[in-house]
Structures are given as structure tokens and as C-alpha cells.
Chains A and B, each alone.
Chain A
Amino acid sequence: MSVILGYVATILVTFFTYNIFTLGLNIQFGYAGILNFTVITFMAMGAYFYAVFVMPPANASNQVFYILGLHWPWPLASIAGVVASGALGYLIGLIALKRLRSDYLAIVTLATGTLLYGLSGDNNKLFDGWAGLFAVNQPFQSVANNNPNTFSWIFVVISGLVMLAVWWFANQLYSSPLGRSMRAIREDQDVVDAFGKNTFKVRMLAMVIGSTIVGIGGVLTIQYIGALSPAGWTTGETFVVWAALLVGGRGNNIGAMLGSLLVAVVFNEGTRYIPQVASNPNLVPDLRNIIIGSLVILSIWFRPQGVLPEKKAKFFELPLKDKYAQTFGGSKADQDLVVEV
């Protein structure tokens, strides 16, 4: 029984954290049309920086090396991790968000991801190389008296609350003037420019807010698992988030939630227990990646708006007076006139 309870808890935490990643990507891609091809790098930055802020200084005698090791209390370290992830988003934005085609931003995100992946793996002084960081301090471990199930369920509640907060924030942002500017830029940046909006600033905000949210998910991930190595944030993971958003429905937060449920939980967990093929141990994970990649392509082909499409914006227009209606060939202005944005 306790095994099942622990498993259910892990699935719930996975769902909540992937939901946070997808919401972060939704703000970048779904709201503002920013192509972030290295979502998972922001998760890793959040996680790694939380770890090096919360852990004691590296002990050379263990052959484990990492930067900082400040031994801060976990709430402060969590903030440090989230800030680090947002800062990376800001830096990428500085390089690529100015007056360039979206190809360039996509290239810079991908290049940054490849670079940081190689650096954190090859340089074992940063985050302990390919071995990665482990035995990272987990909050509430003492409250749970080191009982794994109690800890897991405390964490289900915490990550659930954080996810709800992020979800609420993402919805507030969507309907705020800033969110409307983001969506307008996604549709046509030149028009928004012409209306005098600072499109660079709005896109930068989308980039930083999205990266920060993915960073929050990263901090939660490492707090729950207590370890992270480069093998845990390969490009394949970025695709899981992309597939979740595209399948669920870009621009729609409930769609993002449904997508992470379908892809990150149902598909990923459902295929986890397919037995390995002895002659080709990588066959099952490879096929999984192929399916995830196909899911991305097929969803664009068959249903680019996703299972739950974004709601079309509706604006009430004041009914026109009859004398104006006369001038337009006598046709009456419709009170429920819906304008697509």
C-alpha cells in the first residue's frame, strides 16, 4: 500500500512540475510567440542554483565539486534558483529579442542550451560534471521525520499550491493589458509597434516571466528528487514540454494543463514500464522520443490550435446609431459583433 501511495505522490508531483514548465512555455510561446527551444535548460538552471545555494561548501575529499556552496536556508536558496533562471532568460532576450526574425531567437536558445549542457557536463567544477549534484537538501524532510511517504505527500501539497499560484498568475497575466500586448505581438509585431508599444520590452517581459516560471518548476524538481545530473535534462525533455503545450492548446492555460497531463503523465508514465529489449536497451526510450517528436509534428498538421484551443477574444462594440447604419447601405450594426484578434 505504501508503495502505491508513494508512486501516486510521485506522479502528482511530476504532473504539477510539468504543468509549471508548460505554463512557463505557454507565456513565452502561447502568449508572445517566442520560440524557446531549450525550455529544460531553465529548469536545470533553477535546480542547479537552488542546489549550490542550499548545499554546504564542496568537500574535495568526496571528489564532488561545485561552485558556491553557501549553505543558505532553503527559502532563500529557492529564490536564488528562480532568479538565476529568470536572469538567463533576460540574457538570452538581450542577445536575440531586438529587431530580429524569430529564427534568430530560436537559434540562440538552442545554442545556449547546447553550450550550457556541454559546459555543466564537461566542467566538473561547476555542478559536478556528468555525475551531477546529489544529496541536495530537501525542505520538510525533518518535518516528515525522514519518512519517504510523509515527505512525498507534504510535497504533493506544496507543489500543488505552487502550481495553483502559477496558474492563477498566468491567467491574470493573460487578461491583463500586458498579456493583451503580448498576444497582439504574437499576431503582428509591426502593428503593435505602430501603436507605439515598446514591443522589445513586452517580449522581454514574456521571456523573463516564462523563464522564471520554468525555474520555479526546476527548484521544485530538485527539492523533490534531491539530485540532478545532465542526463536528467536532455533535449528530449524540452520536447515533452513542447508536445504538452501543442497537444493541449497553445495560449490556453487549461489546455497547457491538459497537455501536461496527457503527455508528461499518461504517455510518459504509461510507457515507463514497457520491458527493455535485451538486444537493444535503448529501443524503448528511443521509440518514446520518436513518438514525442511525431506528436509535435502531427499536432501542428492536424490540430495546431490543440485539443483545447485558445478562446477568441470578444469585444462588445457600442451599437451604432441608425443614421450611421443608413450610410453603410442600410445594414444594421449587430450588437454582438465579434471581432477576432
Chain B
Amino acid sequence: MKLFLLTLGFGFVSASIYALLSVGLSLQFGVTNFVNFAYGAYLGVGMLLTYTFSATFGLPFWLSMVLATIGTGLVSMFISEYVLGPFVKRKKSLFYMLIVTFGLSLILDNILQIFYGVGFNEYPIGQSTPITIGPFSFTGNQLLIIAIAGVVMIGVHLLLSRSRLGKAMRAMSDNSDLARASGIDTNMVTRWTWFISGSLAGLGGIVLALNIVSFQTTSGDALLFVIFAAVILGGIGQTYGAMLGALIIGLVTEVSTVFISSAYKQDIAFLVLVIMLLVRPQGLIPAKGKA
């Protein structure tokens, strides 16, 4: 029971990381209606930009995090504008969009590898001693991860429910032609969506690196199918569904380490994905016309 509660605590940490990442992927899918297979590489951009800012330039760590998060958002917006956008404008079929993002993942990964190599890196910050809260035990970094995810989730909720941009995003997600017809600047909304999606990917990559301590360029890609599992579990294109999916996947993968070797914990996410696709492919909170 003690071990169970302990892993449950780690489950919340993983769930926080997955929540940032799956919300970012899901927001973008909702608005643009195609899956971004290069998303794993965006994680790498975030975690490695932070490394450059903090380890190479010697900036304070929090500032490096902020700069890298914005930086990844800008990279994502740039790619959308100059690589994906033209394909969308030409009305390329879904097939081709997927292949393009898939090709993009190889390009981005290898650009990162040219600059950072294939070895493992670590952030120049100390590992704090574990803090015991009730039955749980967290490092300071893990508490930070949970706090960041909490703040960002509330932020995303406010964005979607209160702001003009968020409402426009939801409108585009429902029906982008109708949104355009009712005077929404869909190009601008798409641009902002890619920026937010990229920022969340970058931030998710950074907190992932904080959690696993040593990371390499492909750490993000290895996690991509876990994010897909969370997104599909919640209902593809559903932001709140993605949060729920991330929570479930995070808890299930970590608690599974009580029963199986922790080397296979992410394979459990694959199992959840398979079961979900067989039983309820539209996800827990289905979106109309997306499955």
C-alpha cells in the first residue's frame, strides 16, 4: 500500500507532464484537423534550447525555461507559416499532410543532433532532496512540475472559455468554414494555435527533462506515442479530454511499476491505446466528426 501511494505520487508528476503535452497536441489538432507527427521533435527543441540558455549562456534557469518555451512556440509558428501553411493552402489531402509532418520530424531531429549530438545532457541545476508530503515523496523539481502544469491548465481553461482567441479556436475546431464565414480571422487563429501548441510542447519537453534528469535529442520522440495514447483516450481534438487522458495515462503507467519492471511502464500506455481503439475509438469525450 505504501509503495502504491508512492507510485501514485509519481503518477501525478507524469500526468502533469503528459497534460501539458497532450493539451498542446490536441489544441492544434482541433483547429487544423491533422495530426502533427513532428510534435516529438518540438519537445526536443524546448529541452535543448533551455540547455543552451542555462548551461552555455549561463542565464538563470527560470529565465531559460521561459525563453525556451517562447522559442519553441516561435519555431512551431515559423514551421506552420512557411512549411505546413503552403501545403494547407494548396488543399493537399490528409495523407500528404501526415507524411509532411512525419518527414519534418526526421529533419528537426537531425538538425538538433547536429547541434547537440547523440549523447545525454543534464541541466546545470542541483537535484533537491526529496520532500515527504503525507504518503507521497517528491523532489523539489517534481513539485515544480506539478505547479507549472496546474497553472498552465487553468490558463488554458481561461483562454478557451474567456478570451476572444479561445472562443475563435473553439469555433474553428467545430467548423472552420463556418468560423471563417462569421468573420473570424482563421489565419491569425491558426498562427496563434501553432504558437501555443509549440510553447506547450517546449514547456512539456523541459519539465520532462527535469523529471528524467538526463535527456537526449530523441527523448521527445520516444514519448510521442504516450502522448498520442493520452490524446486518443480523451477524445482526439478535445482539450479537456486530453487533460483527463493525460491524468489516466500518467497514473496507470506509474502505478504499473508496482507490478512490472519500470522499463516497460510506457508500454502500458500502448496497451491503453490499443484497448481504447478497439472498444471506444472516439475517446472518453468524443468530438463530433473527428474519429
Contact = CB atoms under 8 A, between A and B. Distances in A.
A107 B96 contact: no
A280 interface: yes
Given A95-B277, A96-B277, A282-B114, A290 B99 contact: no
Contact of A290 (B110, B118, B266, B291): B110
Interface stretch (B1-9, B49-57, B201-209, B222-230): B222-230
B106 A108 contact: no
A193 interface: no
A268 interface: no
B117 interface: yes
Contacts of A101: 94, 290-291
A95 B267 contact: no
A287 B110 contact: yes
Given A115-B270, A118-B222, A297-B83, A292 B114 contact: no
Which of A111, A290, A301 gathers most chain B CB within 10 Å? Answer: A111
Contacts of B264: 119
B277 A286 contact: no
B106 A103 contact: no
Interface residues on B, range: 35 or more
Interface string A65-93: 00000000000000000000000000000
Nearest to B29: A103
Given A293-B103, A297-B100, A297-B104, A33 B114 contact: no
Interface in A100-158: 100-104, 106-108, 110-112, 114-115, 118-119, 122-123
B110 A107 contact: no
Interface residues on A, range: 35 or more
Contacts of A296: 99-100, 102-103, 106
A104 B118 contact: no
Interface in B112-151: 113-114, 117-118
B87 interface: yes
Contact of A111 (B86, B110, B117, B225): B225
Contacts of A118: 222, 266-267
A37 B102 contact: yes
Contacts of A297: 83, 100, 103-104, 107
Contacts of A96: 277
A309 interface: no
B37 A282 contact: no
B208 to A, nearest CB: 16
B98 interface: yes
Contacts of B263: 122-123
Contact of A300 (B92, B106, B118, B228): B92
Given A100-B291, A246-B99, A239 B106 contact: yes
A37 B225 CA distance: 13
Contact of A294 (B86, B107, B291): B107
Nearest to A101: B291
Contacts of A290: 106-107, 110-111
A35 B263 CA distance: 29
B225 A287 contact: no
Contacts of A289: 106-107, 109-110
A270 to B, nearest CB: 18
A122 B98 CA distance: 29
B246 interface: no
A283 interface: yes
A280 B222 CA distance: 24
B221 A104 contact: no
Interface of A: 33, 35, 37, 95-96, 98-104, 106-108, 110-112, 114-115, 118-119, 122-123, 235-236, 239, 242, 246, 280, 282-283, 286-287, 289-290, 292-294, 296-297, 300-301, 304
16 contacts: A96-B277, A100-B277, A102-B94, A106-B98, A107-B35, A110-B37, A110-B228, A118-B266, A119-B267, A280-B114, A283-B114, A293-B110, A296-B103, A297-B103, A300-B100, A304-B96
Given A35-B99, A103-B98, A106-B102, 7 more contacts: A101-B94, A104-B277, A108-B277, A283-B114, A289-B106, A290-B107, A296-B103
